[in-house]
Amino acid sequence: MSEWFESWFGEDYVALYPHRDAAEAEHAVELIERIVDSPSMPRVLDLACGGGRHARVLSTRWDTVGLDLSAVLLRLARDEAPEAEFVRGDMRVLPFREGAFQLVVNLFTSFGYFADDESHHEVIEEVARVTARGGTFVLDFLNTEHLFDTLVPYDETEIGGKIVEQRRQISDDGRYVIKRICIRGENTEYTERVRLFEKPDLSRMLEQSGFTISSVFGNYDASPLTDDSPRVILFGARL
């Protein structure tokens, strides 16, 4: 049985979400550049790069490689960031040598997609393997506390003349946020399911894999993490 993300991030996803916030990507990379502040950054990995909006900004600063599972999104990424290199692959089995990157970034909640936590641990272990000693891993995830307080159960938006309905809920066991997307009048529905990790969970995974947490923020403006912060942004230094 295929995972939800294998079918969702294709042509329909691109048609329904044709634009993502380019200014937000700029702010994310500006924060990374300011905090990492390394004079030598030979290669950067944009893990789960999607359509390339972060890779475009990263590649203006460093030699950048983007990895994603979606062939459709990788085609967009190559147009969006022609200076970067792109590879199709599974984040649980990275096709790179040990210590290949000085910086690895996983941005805009491109984590937590798998049905079992073992797979999430495998991702972090692989990130640790390909991050050079002294390098940095940046994990940018949703803030679970904020999500619980602000979850919108239903909304609808007109996109390209179609009404797109989105229904959101927390799973009965409290471990996942689930979003169902359908086009009104069409017999098509997609599901997104993201594991709800809190900051201590994420920190523990990083530390168990050989990182030490060097900085924590609640948004791209470098504000401190609170329950009201929209994001959890962790900087892990590779030991």
Q: For 138-194, give the DSSP string.
A: EEEEE-HHHHHHH--SEEEEEETTEEEEEEEEE-TTSSEEEEEEEETTSS-EEEEEE
CA distance 208 to 32: 23
Number of neighbouring beta carbons within 10 Å of residue 7 = 13
Bridge-based pairing of strands 131-142 and 101-106 is: parallel
3-state secondary structure of 65: strand
Biggest distance spanned by C-alpha atoms of the chain = 55
Quick check: 57 pLDDT over 60?
yes
Per-residue pLDDT band at 162 (split at 50, 70, 90): confident
pLDDT at position 111 is: 97
Quick check: 104 pLDDT over 80?
yes
Weakest-pLDDT range from 55-69, 73-87, 107-121, 151-165: 151-165
CA distance 206 to 213: 8
pLDDT at position 12 is: 80
Angle at the Cα of 179 from the Cα atoms of 47 and 55, rounded to 5 degrees = 20
Quick check: 39 pLDDT over 70?
no
Quick check: 5 pLDDT over 90?
no
Cβ–Cβ < 8 Å for 188, 182: yes
Averaged pLDDT for residues 188-216: 96
Q: What 8-state DSSP symbol labels residue 52?
A: S
AA letter at 235:
F
Q: Token digits for 73?
A: 């999104």
More confident position, 69 or 40: 69
pLDDT at position 237 is: 97
Q: What 8-state DSSP symbol labels residue 197?
A: -
Extents of the domains making up the chain: 4-145+196-238, 154-192
The CATH code of domain 4-145+196-238 reads 3.40.50.150
Quick check: 215 pLDDT over 70?
yes
Cut 0.75: pTM above it: yes
Per-residue pLDDT band at 233 (split at 50, 70, 90): very high
**Angle of helix 117-130 versus helix 199-208 axis, rounded to 10:** 50
pLDDT at position 38 is: 75
CA distance 44 to 34: 15
Averaged pLDDT for residues 143-172: 94
